[in-house]
Chains A and B, each alone.
Chain A
C-alpha cells in the first residue's frame, strides 16, 4: 500500500464517519482543535480505521500521541510496514 493510498483510505474513512470536508483534512489539521473531534470520536476513529485497514490498532501505545492527520498517516504507514 503506497503512502498516497494510505492517505486516501484514512481520509475516506474519517470523512464518512465524522462528516468531514476532504478539504479540511490536511496533514497539519489537528484532530481535536481543527476537525472538532473529541474523546468519543477517537474511540470510533480507531474502529473505523481497524475496519478500513484490516488490522488491530486499539492497543498500540503510539496511538495516544496522535494529534494531527499527518501523525495519523505516519502511524498507519508504520503499522502497515510492520505487518508486511
Chain B
C-alpha cells in the first residue's frame, strides 16, 4: 500500500509571548524569556514555584459569541491559533467543509478554571440551579477540538488525544498517520493548555518544579544546565495544518516542511521517572517509520524540561543513537513547559529554524551538567542547514513521542 506524503502548510500560535507564530519565533530567536512572577501562585499555600509563562490578554471577541460561549480559555487559544494557521495555509471554505478536513487537538485535562468555577459554586449548597448551558462544552475531553471544528466549520473527523506533555506531538502524529493513510486530506492538529495553580502544583508536589528562581524568573527553567532545578509551567496552543503533498500541490499551497516519521511508545518502568532506553527506542521507531538513518538527522529538538532525571535520560538516549556531535537544544528555557501545547508550539519554532537555516540555543543553559554533557548543546544562534530534524516530547504516565521532520525542497 502506498502512503501519502504529508506536509505542513500552516502554523498558528498563542503563547506566553502573545498571539501569533511570528511573535513566537521572533522571541525565540531573540532569546527572550516569557517567564514571569505570577502573584496568584504566591498566594497558594504550600506551593513553592511562583513563576510561569502566562498568555497575555487577547481579543477573544474576534470569535463570535455564539461560538465563544462554549469555550474555556484553552479553547479560545485553540481557536485563535487555528484561525491563524488556516489563514496561512489559505484553505478554502469548501475544503474546510469537506469530510476530508479534520481536527486533532488534545489537552492535558479539561479546563481546570471552569471546573474550579463550577465546584466553587456547587459546593456552597450542592445546587445545579445556577449552572449555565455551556458548562459541559467547556469541560468535555474534546472541548478544544470540538470548539475549533464548530467555530471554523470543519466537518471531517475530530480526535482529542490526551497524553499530558506528549499530547501535542501525539496530535501531530495521529494527523500524519491519518493523512498518510488517505483517511483525511487536511488536518488541523496540536495541543492546548491553560495555566492553573493545580498544574504548577502537580509538578511541585512530586519535586519536579523549579523553586529556586522565584525572584529571577527569566533565569528558569534551565534545561541541561548544572543549576537546573525543575519545570516552569506555561500555557498556550500551537496548531499546524498538515496536508497530503498531493492536496498541497494541487491547490498551490506554500509548503513549510514535510513530516516523515512518527512514533509513540510506553515506558512501564515507572509512571513518572523516564527510562533512557525507552526514549531511545521511541526515537529509533520514529526513524524507522521515516526510513531515515541516524546519520541523516542534523538536529534534535529535545523535550528537556529541566528536571534532573528527564534531561539526563534524554541526553543519554540521543547520544546512543546519534553520537556526541549532533546539535541539541530545547525551547523550555524560553517559554517554559506548556505541557499539552509544548509539542506543537515547539514544532513551530523548529520549522522556522529549518526554513531560516539556523539552530537556536537552549536559553538559560550556561554550563551543561555533567550528566547531560554527552551531546553537543547549541548555546548560541548557529547557522546550520538542517535538512532533517527530530522532535521529542515525553509525558508523565510513561508516554514517549518522537517526530521526524524534513525540509521540503
Contacts and interface: CB of A to CB of B under 8 A. Distances in A.
Interface of A: 18-19, 36, 38, 40-41, 43-44, 47, 50-51, 56, 58
B69 A40 contact: yes
Nearest to B70: A40
B1 to A, nearest CB: 44
B65 A44 contact: no
Contacts of A18: 65
B133 A43 contact: yes
B45 interface: no
B130 A44 contact: no
A47 B66 contact: no
Contacts of A50: 129
Nearest to B65: A19
Interface residues of B, number: 9
B133 A40 contact: yes
A44 B129 contact: no
Contact of B130 (A19, A40, A51): A51
B66 A36 contact: yes
A36 B130 CA distance: 23
If over half of A's interface residues share one DSSP class (helix, strand or loop), that class is named, otherwise mixed; here it is helix
Given A43-B133, A44-B134, 16 more contacts: A18-B65, A19-B65, A36-B66, A38-B66, A40-B69, A40-B133, A40-B134, A41-B69, A41-B133, A43-B132, A44-B132, A44-B133, A47-B129, A47-B131, A47-B132, A56-B129
Contact of A58 (B66, B129, B132): B129
A47 B131 CA distance: 8
Contacts of B131: 47
B330 to A, nearest CB: 42
Interface in B114-172: 129-134
Nearest to B131: A47
Contacts of B132: 43-44, 47
Contacts of B130: 47, 51
Nearest to A43: B133
Contacts of A43: 132-133
A52 to B, nearest CB: 13
Contacts of A58: 129
A9 to B, nearest CB: 18
B391 to A, nearest CB: 40
A53 to B, nearest CB: 14
Nearest to A42: B133
Contacts of A36: 66
A52 B217 CA distance: 44
Nearest to A48: B132
Contacts of B69: 40-41, 44
Contacts of A44: 69, 132-134
Contacts of A19: 65
Of A36, A40, A43, A58, most B-chain CB atoms within 10 Å: A40
B211 to A, nearest CB: 42
Contacts of A51: 130
A18 to B, nearest CB: 7
A14 B241 CA distance: 38
Contacts of B129: 47, 50, 56, 58
A58 B128 CA distance: 12
A30 to B, nearest CB: 16
B187 to A, nearest CB: 28
- Give 3 nearest A-B pairs by CB, closest first: A43-B133, A40-B133, A44-B132
A50 B131 CA distance: 12
Interface in B41-78: 65-66, 69
A56 B69 CA distance: 23
A56 B132 CA distance: 15
B373 to A, nearest CB: 56
B173 to A, nearest CB: 34
A41 B133 CA distance: 8
A48 to B, nearest CB: 9
A22 to B, nearest CB: 16
A43 B69 CA distance: 13
A18 B69 CA distance: 9
A40 B132 CA distance: 9
A41 B65 CA distance: 11
B319 to A, nearest CB: 55
A50 B65 CA distance: 22
A49 B33 CA distance: 46
